[in-house]
Structure 1
């Protein structure tokens, strides 16, 4: 089994309730954008691009995603580039506006996550495996692709693993009724 299926299965076990998944569809992008904004200062002028902590972290994340899966990695890389661009744009605002926008997105995104996990009745995945912080955004992109009918083989492999009694017991996942 691929590392991609393994990581998405572990994450999916914590995200079986559709209300939880819905809050993550909004909350995770908010958190990511908030982090991009807050980490877009300081900016190190360099040619042809400026360098920020957000760009450095996004580059490492993109490499990780690309190693897991070329197609999903390419989509994630494009989203990370957009996030860094937005972060740099907003970081050019006055300090109060920069902090207010970045902080509000970050806090509101986490509030949505907590609400979602209230529906789920289960703690967030990253509390058991810190990689959940990286897999969460990938899970959202994968769920969107699955809803569009793409990557059926990955979805089937995840669902198959989640229905195994040994996997449910080990990871706590359950199938919705």
Structure 2
């Protein structure tokens, strides 16, 4: 059970090029949205609540994020993912073809952006070496967003102490 700092440091070691991080700001939310769309069917009633596989997955990941030892980061990523789930659940009201088109298109475009970013990075995606990276991606993007707002300086300092600052990799001389 690695804590948020360890997870963020490991993930950050695969994400030091600012262009890669930028592609992740779009690609990861698209992937989370796509998963929400694709898992928004079927729905079933539990008491007065309408549940879908997407909401069950969101609940499980929320518990995971909130138990990584950084409550603010865990709550922020859970909130961001929750908003994406809410948006994703607006799609299934359309036809099955529209539902699949939205879900699959967002998924493919999101992953394409990830791989473009890793071309700039010159390194494979983190999840290739550790599948937990699939969960850490949304936490990393949320953390980077919060760092930009001035939150989490000690966490950012620890990441940079261990893996260095972000940069623009020289593509002409990798």
What TM-score, normalized by structure 1, do the two folds share? Answer: 0.89
Please state how far the C-alpha of 1:63 moved relative to its aligned partner.
0.5
Residue 22 (structure 1) aligned with residue 13 (structure 2): no
> Matches of 1:175 and 1:55 in 2, distance apart?
34
1:158: how far off?
Answer: 1.1
Normalized per residue, which structure has more helix? 1
Q: Give the match for residue 38 of structure 1.
A: 38
Q: In angstroms, what is the RMSD of aligned CA positions? A: 1.5
Question: CA, structure 1 residues 75+175, in 2 after alignment: closer, same or farther (shift >3 Å)?
Answer: closer
**Aligned match of 2:136:** 135
Contact preservation (8 Å) 1:72, 1:138: yes
Deviations 1:132-153 (A, max 9, x none): 0000000001001111111100
Structure-2-length-normalised TM-score: 0.90
Moved more, 119-128 or 63-72: 63-72
Uncovered stretches (5+) of structure 2, i.e. residues with no partner:
169-174
Per the alignment, residue 47 of structure 2 pairs with 47
The runs of at least 4 consecutive aligned structure 1 residues that moved more than 2 Å come to 45-48, 174-177
Partner of 1:112: 113
Q: Tell whether the 8 Å contact from 1:39 to 1:87 is kept in structure 2 after alignment.
A: no
Change (3 A) 1:97 1:156: same
Aligned partners of 2:51 and 2:124: how far apart in 1? Answer: 35
Matches within 5 A, 1:96-175: 96-163=97-164
Post-superposition Cα deviations, 1:80-124, rounded to whole Å, max 9, x if no partner, equal 222222222211211000110111100000000010000011000
Say whether the 8 Å CA contact 2:118–2:124 is kept in structure 1: yes
